[in-house]
């Protein structure tokens, strides 16, 4: 394993976060805080509690997960697409660095940025409402696994995209709607039976449900099912990345 190469890619990607601090950290934190204030005030006045948890506290895990999903995909897709756009990706591919090390560097940096944003949002939300973390180890595990999984997805999307429009369309038209419809602001038990079954087709439901369980021990689906879904999603992304590098899909001229 070429650890210096992984470190070089990782540090280079993380340095962009320092250069664009407002866009990388401040902007998503402010946006999520506004979601929290607006939804908490507008809907919280009508829904006092869900499963024994105040509405303001209930939506915190969903908002953190919403931010983690979007930031992971965005950071990883841009991180790999820009070298393709500028042509510098061919220098990386021609260097004595394996595809595993390239993936670890880019995905590790994207996941690290998302985790930092998620922790800051958690600390910020604690200033507005009381937050109880029943299982802190599981909470951090869900946070890390989700960040890695969707950073891998963003990495795939960044390789797939051949223009800036395609790079932006997936987070805007796929990831964000799935997160909103995945129980970020409500429990799926509040839906009619038919729509509950339809909602279970949304993979984000399992991520949010498991993450919320680590806070309040309330879950829409079994925690073991949530963990299994994350594992399956992670495995699919790893297989796709292996196929991309093996075939050179959109990496070779």
Separation of alpha carbons 238 and 229, rounded Å: 14
Does 1 or 150 have the greater pLDDT score?
A: 150
Whether pLDDT at 31 is above 90: no
- Give me the pLDDT at residue 86, please: 81
- Say if 16 falls within a structural domain: yes
Q: Residue 194 belongs to what domain range? A: 3-247
3-state secondary structure 107-156: HHHHHHHHHHHHHHHHHHHCCCCCCCCCCHHHHHHHHHHHHHHHHHHHHH
Separation of alpha carbons 101 and 78, rounded Å: 18
- Say if 20 falls within a structural domain: yes
Separation of alpha carbons 73 and 244, rounded Å: 17
As a whole-number percent, the residues of the chain with pLDDT over 90 amount to: 31
Mean pLDDT of 36-51: 71
- Say if 39 falls within a structural domain: yes
- Give me the pLDDT at residue 154, please: 92
What mean pLDDT value characterizes the chain? 86
- Say if 252 falls within a structural domain: no
Per the CB < 8 A criterion, the answer to whether 213 and 237 are in contact is no
Which of the 8 DSSP states describes residue 165? H
Mean pLDDT of 68-78: 90
- Say if 130 falls within a structural domain: yes
- Say if 216 falls within a structural domain: yes
Each residue's pLDDT tens digit, 95-147 = 888 888 999 999 999 999 999 999 999 988 888 888 889 999 999 999 999 99
Long-range contacts, stretch 97-101, CB < 8 angstroms, 24+ apart: 97/2, 97/5, 98/2, 99/241, 99/242, 99/245, 100/1, 101/1, 101/2, 101/5, 101/6, 101/9
Whether pLDDT at 42 is above 80: no
- Say if 211 falls within a structural domain: yes
From the number of C-beta atoms within 10 Å of its C-beta (0-12, 13-18, 19+), residue 6 rates as buried
Each residue's pLDDT tens digit, 168-216 = 887 777 887 888 888 888 888 888 888 888 888 888 899 999 999 999 9
The model carries a pTM of 0.90
Which residues does 98 contact at the CB level (< 8 Å), separation at least 6? 2
Tally of structural domains, the chain: 1
């Amino acid at each position: 394993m070429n650890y210096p190469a992984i470190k070089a890619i990782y540090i280079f990607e993380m340095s962009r976060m320092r250069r664009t601090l407002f866009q990388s950290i401040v902007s998503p934190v402010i946006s999520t805080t506004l979601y929290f204030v607006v939804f908490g005030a507008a809907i919280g006045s009508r829904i006092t509690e869900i499963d024994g948890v105040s509405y303001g506290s209930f939506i915190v895990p969903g908002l953190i997960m919403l931010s983690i999903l979007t930031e992971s995909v965005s950071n990883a897709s841009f991180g790999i697409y820009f070298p393709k756009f500028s042509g510098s990706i061919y220098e990386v591919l021609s260097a004595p660095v394996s595809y595993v090390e390239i993936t670890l560097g880019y995905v590790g940096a994207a996941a690290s940025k998302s985790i930092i944003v998620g922790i800051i949002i958690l600390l910020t939300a604690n200033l507005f409402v009381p937050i109880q973390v029943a299982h802190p180890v599981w909470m951090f595990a869900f946070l890390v696994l989700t960040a890695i999984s969707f950073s891998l997805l963003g990495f795939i999307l960044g390789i797939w995209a051949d223009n800036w429009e395609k790079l932006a369309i997936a987070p805007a038209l796929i990831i964000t709607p799935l997160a909103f419809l995945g129980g970020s602001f409500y429990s799926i038990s509040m839906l009619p039976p038919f729509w509950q079954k339809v909602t279970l087709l949304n993979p984000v439901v399992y991520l949010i449900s498991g993450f919320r369980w680590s806070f309040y021990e309330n879950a829409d689906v079994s925690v073991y099912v949530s963990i299994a879904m994350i594992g399956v999603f992670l495995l699919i992304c790893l297989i796709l990345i292996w196929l991309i590098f093996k075939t050179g899909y959109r990496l070779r001229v």
